[in-house]
Each structure stands twice: as C-alpha cells, then as structure tokens.
Amino acid sequence: MSKKNILPEGTRDLVLDECIVKRALERDIDKLFEKWGYKEVITPTLEFYETFNHNSQTLREEDMYKFFDNRGRILILRPDMTIPIARVVETKLKDVELPIKLRYTSNVFRVHESLGGKRNEYTDCGVEFIGLEDKKSDLEVLVLALEALKKLGLNDFKLEIGNIGFFNGAFKNLEIDEEYKEIIAKFIEDKNLKSLEDYLANLDIKEEYRIFFNKLPWLFGSKQVLEDAKKLAFNDDIKETLEYLEKLYIELEALGYGENVTFDLGMIPRLNYYTGIIFRGYGEGVGNTLLRGGRYDNLIHFSKSSVPAIGFSIDIDSVIPNVKFNNSSEEVYKIYYSQKDRIEAIKKSQELRNQGYIVDLFTKDDIEEIKIVKGGGF
C-alpha cells in the first residue's frame, strides 16, 4: 500500500454514519453542559511545552507530540484540556468573579505505546468548575458526570469514585522518599499485587502501613468498600476522607443515582495535580474508561493564592461504536429530476429544507417530471 494511504499510528478516519453519531453525541453533551450554566471556551491545538512542564510534572515528556516553532521554542499538541483552561483562567479570566464554569469540546493528543491499541488523537467533551471548595461543588460535578453518562444512551453505566486523600493521608506521618511513594502508587493503581507486596516487604515501615497498602488495591466495589476501609484507617486524615465519600454517596443515592455509583479507593491517577475526589466513568460494551475527572486545588493561581477547581472530560470517540444510528426516513426526502427541471427541483428542495428536512437531489435523464420521494429510493 502506498504511504499516502496510511494513517499515523493511533489515528483513524471517521466516515458516514460514524460522523453523524459523533456530531450528535457532541451536540447532546454540549447542550447538557450549557443547560447547567457552563460557558464555552476554545483553546489552540498548539501550546508551549513549558505550559505543561512548568512545576506540575503532570505528563511524561515522551507522552507528548513535540516540535519547534520558527524561533526554536518547543511546541506540543495539547495532551490535556485542564491545563490549557487553567492558563486561560489565570490570564484572560483573572478579573472575572468566581466561581467560573467552563465547558469545551476539543481534540487532544497523547503518544501511546506502539501496538497498544490506544488512540493517540481523540475528542474530549468536558467541564471545569473553578472557584469553590469541595463541599460546595463536588456534588454538582458528580451529578453532571452521571447525567452526561446517561445522555450517551448506554444500557448500563457506572461512575467509580475515589479520593487521592485516602492514599496521601497514609503518608502524613510516614517519612519516606517521594520516589518510593510513586512506586507504591503505580503498583496500587495497576493492581500489581505481587510486586506491591514484595516492594513493601523491603521497606523500613511499620506493619500497619504494609497492611494498609497491600489491602488498598482490593478496596473497590459497592458502598460496602467504605465500611471495610474504616477498619484499616489509622489516622484522622484517612477517616475524614472516608466520611466525606460516605456523605457524597448518601446524597447521590437520595438523588436517584445509587445504583450507578461504585468506589475504588486504590484509584491513583498518573496526573499528579489531583488533590481530592477522583472519578471514572464506564459503560456497558465500552472497553476503556470513557469519563475521567477529579479535584485539583493547586493548579490555578491568582497572585500567590491557589484557586480550588474540579472537572471531568468524556472521550466521545470511545462511545461511537456502541451507539446505533437511527436514520429515520421521516426526516429525509429525495428529489429526482431531469436537466430541464433543475431550477424547479432546487426550489422544491429549498422549500423542504426550510421545513427542517434533509433533501438529496438526483438527476435522471429518463424521467418526464420531478419525483419527490420521502425516505425511500426511486
């Protein structure tokens, strides 16, 4: 096959009904966010590498598409939308009264390992709620995430909730190098149980810490997980985190979402700007995580003060194969005409389009008069 017909790894073409489904999903989700009061923001596809690398260390350098501008500065294709929005808030919106609610629909780019089956370009629809602390905004964003999952039309979906404070709270009085902490976090997130057990066995820490970290990968599932975790809680920070998650569940259950909520206390995302609750959305038939979000209270700064924030995004492309396109013939007309009637045919098509219908025009040399067919062929 000629190279001109080969796509870069991790990319794909969307054609015909796939495009219709994607645009419909984007419109539905965007409209939902708009109805909740979130204003749209559009940022450039290109960002300076420094924007993503400055202090936060949120993504590995090798995960980004990088190149140079005409001045030799390093540019990247945005691998994430939270950081560009943080940049916008700190510059363009620094004088706007808080809270600020923003929404977006944007393509993002990540370099994944070869042959891993993951896409390197995908479309995120998301929101960011900026300016209010956890107790004043977490519930709203979780409800909006659940409503967004419902809007995707999946037969069954779950929102899995964790809290980075559960993991971080265990280190409050534990003197350990950051490098060791990161290794423990990776083993827990990957649920690599044997490696975690072996690694902890070689660390000079108290037995209660070993028990806690070894149990952490198993703490996922229904609300019962919170009760099980209470038995392992050995300081006030961990207990407060569990109490907060329990309160959120009670509120979500009261709102009718109890069956759609689960927990994973071993959820430790690689993006290290999260400071509170973290959550992921899953749907029946969708192999990958289709929604990701969390609280990040130390990413946005006004002067010397940090601004609390929380948000999430939906990977629209991951849902497309699971959505059946309903190509209703009631909304489509076909007009067949000969060359002598082309002016009249175009006029009739315009009349139908003004009524909200889709109209296709077809020339046929062997017909005497214009034929208008609703939905079907001729």
Annotated binding-site members for L-histidine: 80-82, 110, 128, 273-274
Rounded to an integer, what distance in angstroms lies between the CA atom of residue 70 and that of residue 75? 10
Going by C-alpha positions, the residue among 282, 28, 25, 27 that lies closest to residue 155 is 282
Rounded to an integer, what distance in angstroms lies between the CA atom of residue 237 and that of residue 220? 19
| Residue ranges at the known binding site | 80-82, 110, 128, 273-274
Strands 74-77 and 305-307: unpaired
Rounded to an integer, what distance in angstroms lies between the CA atom of residue 160 and that of residue 336? 53
- Given a contact cutoff of 8 angstroms between Cβ atoms, the answer to whether 152 and 32 are in contact is no
CA dihedral defined by 268, 272, 274, 275, rounded to 10 degrees?
90
Rounded to an integer, what distance in angstroms lies between the CA atom of residue 316 and that of residue 320? 7
Rounded to an integer, what distance in angstroms lies between the CA atom of residue 18 and that of residue 110? 22
Rounded to an integer, what distance in angstroms lies between the CA atom of residue 362 and that of residue 99? 53
What residues have CB less than 8 Å from 55, skipping those under 6 apart? none
What residues have CB less than 8 Å from 40, skipping those under 6 apart? 30, 34, 102, 103, 104
First to last CA, the chain: 38
- Given a contact cutoff of 8 angstroms between Cβ atoms, the answer to whether 275 and 297 are in contact is yes
